Structures are given as structure tokens and as C-alpha cells.
Structure 1
Amino acid sequence: MSCPLPNDVIAEIISYLPAKAFFKLLPVCKTFYQLSSDSHFLLSQSYYNKAISGFFINSCNIFRSFIPIDPYAGVPSSSIRFLGKRKTIILGSAGGLVFVLQRKFGWFDAIPVLWVYNLARGTRCQLPSPPGKCSEGGIAVRFINNGDGVTTDYKLVYLTRRWSALQHCRVYDSVARAWTMDKELDFGGRELDLEHPVVCDDTVFWASSELRSYMWIESCVVAFDIREERTQIITMPKDAVVDFFDTIGIAKWEGKSLCLIRHSTFSGKFVLWLLNKTGDGAPGWVKVQEISLAELGFREPCYVSFVVLSEMASTKLLVFTIDQVLYSLNINDGELKKLSSLTDYHTPTLFPYSNTLRPCGEQEELLEAI
């Protein structure tokens, strides 16, 4: 007390805490409580807490539950119950915000509505209706950096499936509070993993390794440049031919590079590549790591249904599912952990989540008041 810290220094220190830990400090003093409504502090905390702290589970296209991987971060049970009662379909999650599709019942039909939630804060905000029909698909989020690391605004890329070879793509600008693009994109008839996009700068990436119309289409990574509204198909590495029971995923590596993850059921290995530009400017792949499941104690051939990479500081976690069990592997020291059993869910979809205080928007409302 003889040498108190300035309030701005206190705010800077506390901004490194996950949302769950911050809320425990609110009763301590007036200064901490005031920070809970300080927009700059909320955004700074969101900037410092970008690591994956858990996963939301959708099963049969309906929200089911939440699995934490960070003991110091989490989602209030009241928010989880609120989301579960509304037959919510999660379309995407980024920066602590969860984008969902809900049905608003009218006189004659159920009208799908897009919402953005911050479940840690217990708030939500309705998004303007996009052009065309709201339907299942995926949302990618491009946060806009204002120069000091604080990201106040964002753009959404809402991609939905079509029976044709084209994908319906719409872009939302949070500054204009309007949908600024509505067009069809041609990715060569590939079935994309719309629920797990990766955003690097102005480019959104999706992985593709599926059969469509009973024909095998070469696996690849597809890219969409938000600024230029241009698409690109990036072929797999030459030694990463994907067989029928193999699994691929994409993630960010060290916060800037695209990482391709492939699990081969035949070899029982994870192999990781980074996407770099070659001398002629074309994209090329560089292998960075191989991980053997046999060396981790898995003795029989395993089918991996989901894989993602989570980074926090210098720690890299490879998170994957085998036989409906979710595991995490610390790539740095080789520590393997069983996170949760998924036996109650039929082919679940997992959405990575970061525990932040980021506001949903200017017109957000409290869940407890609904």
C-alpha cells in the first residue's frame, strides 16, 4: 500500500488472465470491477488469451456440452444451459466469440437467425440477416488489428454447402454492420471442412479430403482471399497422399503460418507440414515433425476422427480423438493426456474456444435477462 501501482499498470497485468480467473477478482476492489466495463481492457485481455482453452461439442448438428483443456479457463454452467435449451447449431468460434444459428419461430415457419455469443461474459448480440437463406455451414473470423494489438472489429466469412459444385459465400463487416459480399465460389466440387477454417492475415483456409458424388477428388487445401475476393486451390505435399481412412486438419503455427496435419491409419503417424512461399512465389510445403502413435502407447491401428493444434506461448498441443476419446499431446515434452470421453455423442464436431472477455457488439444483451 505504501507504493501502489498505477491503474493502467494493474490493468495491463490483469489482462493476461483468462476470463474465468478475472471474474474471481471482481469482488476484491472497485478498480477491478470497473475494468469489467472498460472496452480497451476487454479487448486487450482478448488479445493476450488467444490460446485454445476448451472445445464446444455439436452432435447431430445440435450443441451438447463443453470440454475444458485449461483448468484456469472455462464457461459458466448457466451459459452452457442457456445455449443447450435453444437447439443451437454452432457455425464457428474465434477470439472468445461463438457464432451460432438458432431458429426463431414465426407464424408459419421457423426462421433461422444468426447470433454471436460471449459465453464467458454471458452476453449475446444478433447479427443482421445475411443475403439468402441461413443454413448449416461454417463461419471464419478475420479480426482487424488497429496497430497496438487490440482488435476491435472483424469480418466474417460465412460459407454454406450447396448440392452443386459451388459454395455460397457471404462476408460480414462489423464496422458497417452489413453484409458486403454475396457470391458463389468454385472449389472444384470438393467437400470442405467448413467447421474448422484457419485465418492467416486476409486469407481463409479450409481442408478437403472427402468423397463427393461417389467420386474421389484429390485432397487439397483451398484458400479465399477476403480482400481480393479470390480463390486458390493448394495441392497436398507429394508424400502426403491421403488414403480413405486418413485424417487431415489445418491449424496456425506460431500464430502466422498455416500448418497441415495428416494422420495416416496405415503408418500410425501424425505428420506436420508448414505452408511457405517458394522462390517463384508459389505456395510450397515443408515437413516439420512426425509423431508416432505406437511410441505413445497405442499398439493397434487407430482411426483419428479429429485433429487440431493449440499454441500457448512456446507450448504446442496436438489435440485429437481416437475411439471417441479426446487426447492432448504436448509436442514439446511428449506428455500425453486423456481429456474426455465422447462415447455419449454420435460423430461429434468439436469447435475450439478461447476464454476471453471480447464484447459481442454495441447492442449486446445479458443472457440472464432473457
Structure 2
Amino acid sequence: MRHKIFNFILTGLFFTLPLYSQTSGLLTFDVRSEKLLPQSIWTYTPKYIIAAWITDNNNNFVRSLYVKANVRKQHLVAWNAASGGNVVDAVTGATYDSVGSPSTWTRSHHITWDGKNTSKVLVPDGTYKLWIEQTSANSASGTVQDGPVYSISFLKGSTTVHLTPGNQPYFTLMDLVWTPSAIPVTSVTLDKDTIVLDRNDSVTLVATVLPSNATDKTINWFSLNTSVAVVSATGIVKGIGGGTTKIVATSADGSVSDTCFVIVNGVSSSRGNLNSDFFDIYPNPASSVLTIRIYPLGSTSFIDVYTLAGIKVMSMESNSFSTTIPVHNLPEGMYLISVRNRNQSLCRTFQINR
């Protein structure tokens, strides 16, 4: 048998994809089938017997998409050879009726594919072929010429593909689009859990977004208390005033986020480190109690103890020069202690060992 086969080979599409990548999405293909010539080969009516199917790049059958030939489909020679007549999940139906005079016998077709095989399993990313065939004659008899067949190679992956092959003798106005589904961000992770700043000092937070091929990896940044610290659109945190806050980094859709606990000392770094001038803590490491000496006292002091994850585990007030804090109920590890009064707000770290 003689086949009219037209192959549209797309250069530049055959590059390596990540191993086992399986991107979901939707393929749409629009085409107009033109009347077959010569008219003498039209041995029956109706005149529009057509099929479309997908193979991999090695021509292994993946799935039928469109088979309009309930009675005459045996004459779709190429489709039968590829599929063995498999119409699982394909759009099927009766052969199209002829409309108008022979000079205007054309049909427009809209074909879709969800990237899955006949078992409804998403196929791996890579190069695939969409095939289309039509016939209006008893091709299977071997006495007449087979109908025309055309194939288009395209890349199924995480990138949108739009192809507009030129018109062929029997297939025109072709438009193929592969649109990958949006790949959501599953996690956002900051490189620091806790930062300690003086006023006017800055530090940069780095956010890692997974998966690496997420459709939108934009990070939105904000501070829970901008009077303590602010953050830029690129993750630069600047200390504003004494106190504590959290910096939050979220995915563009707000579905996942991570936070960094921030403590800002209430003095400008240009005046030097006043921690030891404002308060002292001992013993450090501690086991059961921690003593804080605050000077000058001047007013009520507010004392907060945090884990390095920013969780407040203790809070108290003191009007004394020396205050003892029980820490025997706290697990071993590193902690942050913040002391605030009307004059300033500073912090120090301490260790609990037993």
C-alpha cells in the first residue's frame, strides 16, 4: 500500500528533560480537513472518516484522541496499524455527513489530550507526535490509495509550546498548543531561624523555593511589626526600633510560608554594644536559675525568654536591680532573653545545660 505521509519535524525541541518528570497539562489541536481528490476514489458516503492519535517519539502508540468512523474505521489504515483499533477515552462517533457541494466539502476539528495514556496514567515528559489521518475510500481493500496521514512532533513538558504548521494538501489551518498545568510551590524555607540586630543594621534572608520548577517562585515578604524591623522585596531586614517581631516569607499564592524571629536592640549600633552596660546575666550556662542584673533601673523592666525558633516560653516584669528567673522547667538548649524598659531594649543569648 502507498501512504501519503507528511512529517513536520521541529528542530530545536529535542533537548534533555529532567529524568522521570511528568508534567500535567492540556494539548489542543485545531485542524481543517480538506476534500480528497480525485473525486473518483470516493466509493461511499459519508465522506469524512478521520482519526487522531498520540505516539511517543519512537512511534509507540500512546492513545487515540479522536475517531470519527464508527462503521468505516477499518479504512483508517495508519491509525489501525498504530493503535490496533484502540479507542479507550477517545472522542468517537459516526462519520461526518457531507455538507454542500463537493467543492466545499471541508470540516474543522478540535482535538484535545490531557497528557495521559489509555490507562489514564500521566506519561513522562518528552517528545511526542500527534497523528491525523482521513480517508474517503475503501483503503483497507488494497485496491485504492490510502488516505493522507500527517504527524506533528511537539515537546510535552513544563514549558508552553505553540506550533502552527503550514498548510498541507489535505490538512490546513493547523494550530497546536501544549499548556502545562501550573506547578505549585510546596515549600518555602528561610536560611535563618533567628536574627539579632541593632537599630539601623541590616541582614539579608535567603528563601529557598521548592520544587525548583514551580511555575511562580515569587516570594512576598512582610514584617509583623514594622516599628521593630522592616523587610524589602528582596529579603533585606533592617532594624528600626527595640523589640521583637517576625519576618514572614510567603509563596505568591500564600499557600506556604516560613518565618524568621527578629530581635532588635533599642540602641543604634553607632553607639557600640551596650548589652553589658544595660543588663548582665549569670550563670551562663545555667541549669536551674538565671539571675539578671539591670542597670540603671529607672523604671519597670519587661523580661521575655524565647527559643531560637521565636517561641516565647517565659514573660515577667521586674522592678528590682537583680531578678532571679527559674529555668529548671526549660529543656536544655540555647535561648534568647530580651529586657525592655522605657530607656532601651536589648537582648542576649544564654545556654541551659544539665
In which range does the TM-score fall when normalised by the shorter chain? under 0.3
Q: What's the TM-score, normalizing by structure 1?
A: 0.22
Q: What's the TM-score, normalizing by structure 2?
A: 0.23
**Is the radius of gyration larger for structure 1 or structure 2?**
2
Between the two structures, name the one with larger relative contact order (CA 8 Å, sep ≥ 6). Answer: 1
Higher helix share: 1
